[in-house]
Structure 1
Amino acid sequence: MKAVILAAGYGTRLQRDVAADRSGRFAHLVGIAKPLLPVGNRALLSHWVQALTASNVVDGIYVVTNALYLPAFEEWAANFPNVSIVSDQTRSNDARLGAVACLQLAVKHFQIEDHVFVIGGDTLFQEDFSLAKLQSRFFELQVECEDNSVLLSYQCRDDETHKYGIVEVDGKLRALNMKEKPLPTETKSRRACPCFYVLSKKSLPQLDNFLQDKKVMVIICTALSTILYHLNQYFNHARMLLCRKKTPLETLCLGSFHDNLCMCTRLAAVSTWETCSLT
């Protein structure tokens, strides 16, 4: 098996908070990528490399970072012969590719044709977490069906659903849907998912399908938003010309632009997650 660690984020909120601190206690953290922040006596990522190496679960560890932090990651990786680094070539938060595109980059760049642990580079689990047990459970599911993959979840509070990706499952704990930061009223599930998956090698071709579907949905959403914008402009213009009280239909059209755009975005997210649904 292989491990892909996603570490191409820019930690904009963290760096903003560090820069705003006036005590000077955290000045040494300015400009440090979140996965390389010191946790105990080593970088956060070093804990993952140590755990993955000690468990003998994987025979290759690949880290995806960005062009801005690439030198720092290469310097860090020099201490680990089993770690390889690839850059997504971006240099700003606005240009970032996203988790799925970064995973696809690693799969293609390193020609991965094996089962993959996908790990968020800013994530750590408690000490009693067992990679070996997770691997064992994954292979049990593989016996049932080679398409099976595994994700983790934990129970969150009602007021926390808007902070996490929430997975909806059936009675056999099969993932049916994933909702990104939903309101408590938008889902009955309270299963929050950390960025940690074990993907079957047979599921890896779905990455291309996911990204292609995403491009199509972006085109559709852009077209719809343009249409809605012009409808909005038209009714605003008509209102100014006629100087009359808005009709119910006009009120609906005037007020629907942001709602429809939000709904379109939500439908895109649901569609793409269903494409990559875990069975």
Structure 2
Amino acid sequence: MRTCKDRNTLNMKAIILAAGYGTRLLRDLQTTNYKEFQHLLDIPKPLLPIGHLPLISHWVAALEATADVTDIFVTNDLYYAKFEEWAQKYKSVKIINDGTKSNEERLGAIACLQLVLDKFRIDDHIIIIAGDTLFFEDFSLRDVIAKFEKLQHENDQANLVLAYLCQDEETKNYGILETDENLKVTALKEKPSSDETESRRACPCFYLLSKYTLPLIQVFLEGKKNAPIGEKDAPGHLIAWLVSRQPVFVHMISGRFDVGNLPMYISCNKYFLDKINHLTDYLH
């Protein structure tokens, strides 16, 4: 077993998945009576203003402040020009076009992830972040990376995912992680009813994957070549498949915002304006 004895060898890349088409949010905006939100119609979810910054800029600030992360990648096509304009502020960001023009022809998040790995020949550990997700103010990226580093010292095949506790009635909305007493994942159940699992650990799309895990992503996609797009789109399907092949552990957090529709956007934006507008180290 290889181990990471030297902290400086923990090089990482970050991939922010932003190639979605925001269909739920778009539907809400097209049908809402709230005229003050109509200006959001042509803005992709990762670039929505949250507080006084685009959503994705909160992540970039945190990643750039973390020495372990050396590059940041974002995937998108329909809003490619908008992302290119946004990225001019950040030397660390590289934009990649997935080549699709509509939700119907999308590649799926896992295929987009592989596209980035192939194009940039990535062979470092990676952080995968959903472009429409933010966490509560007590989240610490440094703590998560420190946990991953500890796992790497013990087993360089180890991977780390996040989880937070959800209510009984919410299990059907999320991927739910089942774990052993050491918080090692034994299964991920996709949107189970509350009586199908005793776990209430909801798993957002925020993963730290070992560089030795990366070749398995292509293996997963080859096995899903003829599967419906949904099985290649929801990143949780990859984690569910992975847990029987590589060790996956959990780092608990207090909660998250999934900016998938207009009510959640309004709630998230208000939270930032009210609670963390003046915090300079959010997510760090």
TM-score category by the smaller chain? 0.7 to 0.9
* Aligned partner of 2:51 among 40, 48, 52: 40
Q: CA–CA distance in 2 between the matches of 1:24 and 1:277?
A: 48
Structure showing greater radius of gyration is 1
What's 2:248 paired with? 278
What's 1:93 paired with? 103
Q: 1:135 to 1:32 in 2, by over 3 A?
A: same
Q: CA–CA distance in 1 between the matches of 2:118 and 2:166?
A: 35
What's 1:30 paired with? 41
* Aligned partner of 2:212 among 194, 202, 212: 202
Q: CA–CA distance in 2 between the matches of 1:268 and 1:121?
A: 17
* 1:84 aligned partner, one-letter code: K
SS for the counterpart of 2:118 is helix
Q: CA–CA distance in 2 between the matches of 1:136 and 1:61?
A: 19
For CA contacts below 8 A with separation 6 or more, give which structure has more relative contact order. 2
What's 2:188 paired with? 178
Larger CA deviation: 53-62 vs 31-40: 53-62
Shift of 1:112: 0.9
Structure 1 gap segments, 5+ residues each: 219-266
Q: 1:132 to 1:272 in 2, by over 3 A?
A: closer
Q: CA–CA distance in 2 between the matches of 1:162 and 1:118?
A: 23
Shift of 1:22: 2.3
TM-score (norm 2): 0.76
Q: CA–CA distance in 1 between the matches of 2:25 and 2:218?
A: 32
Q: CA–CA distance in 1 between the matches of 2:15 and 2:240?
A: 24
Q: Which runs of 4+ in 1 moved over 3 A?
A: 267-277
Q: 1:17 to 1:186 in 2, by over 3 A?
A: same
> Is the contact between residue 177 and residue 277 of structure 1 (CA under 8 Å) also seen in structure 2?
no
> Is the contact between residue 148 and residue 200 of structure 1 (CA under 8 Å) also seen in structure 2?
yes
Q: CA–CA distance in 2 between the matches of 1:208 and 1:131?
A: 27
Shift of 1:54: 1.7
Shift of 1:48: 0.5
Bigger proportion of residues as strand:
2
Deviation sequence 1:2-46 (CA, Å, 0-9, x none): 100000111111011111122311011012100000011110011
SS for the counterpart of 1:161 is helix
* 1:42 aligned partner, one-letter code: L
Question: How is 1:82-231 mapped onto 2 (pairs within 5 angstroms)?
Answer: 82-215=92-225
Question: How is 1:255-266 mapped onto 2 (pairs within 5 angstroms)?
Answer: none
Q: CA–CA distance in 2 between the matches of 1:174 and 1:180?
A: 17
* Aligned partner of 1:62 among 62, 69, 73: 73
What's the C-alpha RMSD, in Å, of the aligned pairs?
A: 2.2
Deviation sequence 1:248-275 (CA, Å, 0-9, x none): xxxxxxxxxxxxxxxxxxx999657645
SS for the counterpart of 1:134 is helix
Bigger proportion of residues as helix:
1
> Is the contact between residue 157 and residue 246 of structure 2 (CA under 8 Å) also seen in structure 1?
no
TM-score (norm 1): 0.78
> Is the contact between residue 213 and residue 272 of structure 1 (CA under 8 Å) also seen in structure 2?
no
